[in-house]
A and B are shown apart, each in its own frame.
Chain A
Amino acid sequence: MSMKTSTRQVDGVTIVDCSGRITLGEGSVVLKDTVRELLSKGQKKILLNLGDVTYIDSSGIGELVSAFTTVRNQGGELKLLNLTKKVHDLLQITKLYTVFDVKDDETAAVKSFN
């Protein structure tokens, strides 16, 4: 299953609901394009909901890092929400769990931006 995203606004925060696989090729491109489009519209508080992401490879990890630094460099914030065990474990072994601000409650995550 390829990656799909849909966005919604909650209290000034853009929540991006992601599903499928963030992998080399289409999945990474979808994530990149989504974040780029949000930034172009001035939406710089971004919460990536990865609850329905089934798989991430090294390219997908790289794209998450790229999204994180791109948003931060433009004065925004990008946080992660609802990691599956697989994604959680991947971020742990790559030591990225401490780099990303990871949340497991959407309401609290939205409030944390303000």
Chain B
Amino acid sequence: MTEHRVSYTLDSTLETVESAERSASELATEIGFDEDQVMQISMAVREAAINAVLHGNAYDPGKKVSLDFETTARDMIITIRDQGPGLDVSKIPDPLAPENLLKTSGRGIFLIRSFMDEVHIHPSKTGTEIKLVKHVGGPPAGGKEASQ
């Protein structure tokens, strides 16, 4: 049962990244997640917002980012959508592979998966949707349930 839901439509700007992170942090704190979990959630949302603004919409002022926060008795669910060409997850190299350790980018999705209990990525030709789930009182994050 949905207890609370709020949606935002935001510009493809750095301010959106900051705003998404701040909103996630405030809501996670309100729900009662501990300090480490709040940091994990806010960082995952920040990284997803960066993907949407920077890699998805490429700062295009004509494209928007939508951000939904949903809380239930069991979960905090964050959904971020962009209007980009669609993220090809298979083309993201493993940032932990020795040959990629010194690369200066490509860690965002990895961090998201590390910090959230579930990650669902749905790319399409009209944009990418990333749904992030953190269980209230659930097991520590580590991407164990992560899926696409």
Contacts and interface: CB of A to CB of B under 8 A. Distances in A.
B73 interface: no
A57 B43 contact: yes
Interface residues of A, number: 20
A41 interface: no
Interface stretch (A11-19, A44-52, A60-68): A60-68
A96 interface: yes
Contacts of A62: 103-105, 107
B114 A93 contact: yes
A57 B101 contact: no
Interface string B19-42: 000000000000000000001000
Given A95-B101, A96-B101, A99-B102, A58 B108 contact: yes
Given A63-B104, A93-B114, A24 B43 contact: no
Interface string B54-83: 100000000000000000000000000000
A66 B54 CA distance: 19
A58 B105 contact: yes
Contact of A24 (B14, B96, B101, B107): B14
A94 interface: yes
Contact of B47 (A57, A69, A99): A57
B17 interface: yes
Which of A57, A69, A95 neighbours the largest number of chain B CB atoms within 10 Å of its CB? Answer: A57
B39 A24 contact: no
Interface string B95-123: 11000011111011011001000000000
B132 interface: no
Given A24-B50, A58-B47, A66 B110 contact: no
Given A86-B39, A95-B101, A99-B102, A59 B96 contact: no
Contacts of A68: 102
A42 interface: no
A68 B104 CA distance: 10
8 contacts: A24-B54, A58-B111, A65-B103, A90-B111, A93-B114, A94-B96, A95-B101, A99-B102
